[in-house]
Structure 1
Amino acid sequence: MADLLDFGMTALGDLLTPRLAQRLRAGGSPVRYADRALIHARGDVRPGLSMVRSGSVRFGNPGSDGSYIVITVMGPGQCFGEFSLFADLPRTHDAVAIGETVVDQISRTAFDAILAEEPELSRIMLTAVTGRLHAAMELIDDMRRLPLPVRAAKLIWQMSRSSSRPSACVRCTQTELAFALGVSRVSSGKALAVLQKLGLVEPGYGQIGIPDRDRLEAWIGARAKLSALSA
């Protein structure tokens, strides 16, 4: 699921120097969670920063109608808990382990002690949080503006950005795609069927092929309501 984890966000672990990464890890306590174990619940107010060491963490909330909406999935190097750490705000979503997962739990006291000695950490944290907000703003606009097949195509294309080849294949199941889009498995399947009929994608077992990335990008661009942002 690695290709689907960040939705264009830079993981904190990718921004940290090896020394700072070691300081944070040493300041935290590694906690092991079994598959589907609850890491924290919506409304939890315990302050602290959590960094995924291994495995994955799914964030979502159940609705009163029995539905369950996943907002994102995080993997190794990604962090969560900034709301509680910096603003004393409650957790907004349930966090659940996907598979055997290890999370480094860093208390506010430990984090503040590290920050006092490592002022560079504040700039890195700000960069990570701002990048996440930037991606979230784009996603919100897409959800309100674009039809589901276009949103699905855009997400698949974004997941292929690390490839320099004309064709590409991203690791993503149709269930994971539905999670990322915030829709049902049936709805995401219909969107994929539209893209497949147009020859833009080739769904497979645990992956989605892109025969021609340039053609997919052009198709998205012709239907997007806003000009694309460059990094």
Structure 2
Amino acid sequence: MADIFDLDTPALLPLLPAATRAALLAAGTPVRYRDGALVHARGDRKPGLSIVRSGTVRIGNPGSDGSYTTTSILGPGHCFGEFTIFADLPRTHDVVAIGDVVIDQIPRRRLMTLYHEDPALGFALLCLATRRIHALVEFIEDLRRLPLPVQLAKHLLAMVRRRPAGEAVTLVQDDLASLFGVSRVSIGKALRRLEGDGLIAIGYGRIAVPDREALAAWLAERTVLMPLDPAGPPQLDQ
């Protein structure tokens, strides 16, 4: 299973106090989806928040040539659907189950009741939305000014920062190609460039970063703006 990539933004559930988290999940209905099942389609307007309880989902859209562009892959604790609740906007992407998935579907009415009763939920949702905007601005800026190997190195560095030293990340090259909007061939060349410079070790569906400091130093030589390392989520009383 591929590691979660969501532009280095957090899941919703870890941002919540235990009591708020329990109340939120109790307000939802767990729905099971088989591998490849459509959870939501682009254009759906039914309002509600979806939280991944188990498994992973792929967020993306098909292209006219039969290709599929993956925006993100979300795992347990991650959520989607805020557009439909707070802005009455349609869903922008298809959401498809990867393997067996359980999604807690929370209707807008129940969510808004909790939202008004518990400030911790509103704060967490605002924090999540703000961090996503921050990550998107950073990502778009990288796409405009950095060559692909540098973009990829920056993304890998952000991923390994969130795990123990020496632990490899599990990634599918097709997903990376979709994330950066390039071909699998281009991603393969960028990965081999990084491997040739001794910065990563490529295995079957896995990428290891033997020396994070070396990767950071390589990036420092090729970009004026180094990757930002977001601190942990702020606390409600700060």
Task: Provide the C-alpha distance between the structure 2 equivalents of 1:189 and 1:57, rounded to a whole number of angstroms.
Answer: 24
Deviation at 1:119, TM superposition (A): 2.2
Match of 2:27 in 1: 27
Residue of structure 2 in register with 1:72 after alignment: 72
| 8 Å CA contact 1:3, 1:172 repeated in 2 | yes
Distance 1:39 1:4 in 2: 18
What is the distance in 1 between the residues matched to 2:66 and 2:164?
42
CA distance in structure 2 between the aligned counterparts of 1:59 and 1:80, rounded to whole angstroms = 9
Matched residue, 1:205: 204
Alpha-carbon distance in 2 for matches of 1:155, 1:219 = 13
How much does 1:69 deviate?
Answer: 0.9
State the partner residue of 1:149. 149
Residue pair 2:150, 2:219 contacting (<8 A) in 1 also = yes
User: Is the Cα contact below 8 Å between 1:168 and 1:212 reproduced in 2?
Assistant: no
Q: Cα offset for 1:230?
A: 4.3
| Closer/same/farther in 2, CA of residues 66 and 114 from structure 1, 3 Å limit | same
- The runs of 5 or more residues in structure 1 that have no matched partner are none
Superposed displacement of residue 59, structure 1? 0.9
Residue identity in the other structure for 2:182: V
CA distance in 2: counterparts of 1:134 and 1:64, whole angstroms:
30
Q: Distance in 2 between matches of 1:162 and 1:28?
A: 29
The residue that corresponds to 1:184 in the other structure is: 183
Which segments of 5 or more consecutive residues in structure 2 lack a partner in the other structure? 231-238
Q: Cα 1:220–1:227, aligned 2, differ >3 Å: closer, same or farther?
A: closer
Asked whether the 8 Å contact 1:57–1:75 carries over to 2, the reply is yes
Residue 213 of structure 2 is aligned to residue 214 of structure 1 = yes
Q: Distance in 2 between matches of 1:196 and 1:228?
A: 20
Amino acid at match of 1:118: D
2:169 maps to what in 1? 170
Q: Tell me, what secondary structure is at the counterpart of 1:44?
A: coil
Give the Cα separation in 1 of the matches to 2:164 and 2:12.
24
- C-alpha distance in structure 2 between counterparts of 1:64 and 1:106, whole Å: 33
Instruction: Compute the displacement of 1:173 (Å).
Output: 3.0
Pairwise CA distance, 1:219: 0.8
SS of 1:96 mapped into structure 2: strand
Q: How does 1:1-231 map to 2 (within 5 A)?
A: 1=1, 3-163=3-163, 165=165, 167-231=166-230
Q: RMSD across aligned C-alpha pairs, in angstroms?
A: 1.7
Matched letter for residue 32 of structure 2: R
Q: 1:126 to 1:39 in 2, by over 3 A?
A: same
Alignment-mate amino acid for residue 197 of structure 2: L
Helix, strand or coil for the counterpart of 2:64?
A: coil
Which residue is 2:234 aligned to?
none
Cα deviation for residue 164 of structure 1 reads 5.7
Further displaced range: 175-184 or 8-17: 175-184
Q: Deviations over 1:151-208 (max 9, x none)?
A: 111111111103464x552222323333333333222111101111111111002211
Counterparts of 2:2 and 2:26 in 1: how far apart (Å)? Answer: 25
Q: TM-score under structure 2 normalisation?
A: 0.90
Cα displacement (A) at 1:21? 1.1
What is the aligned-residue identity percentage?
Answer: 52
- Structure 1: distance between partners of 2:171 and 2:62: 23
Following superposition, the deviation at residue 63 of structure 1 comes to 1.9
Count matched residues.
230
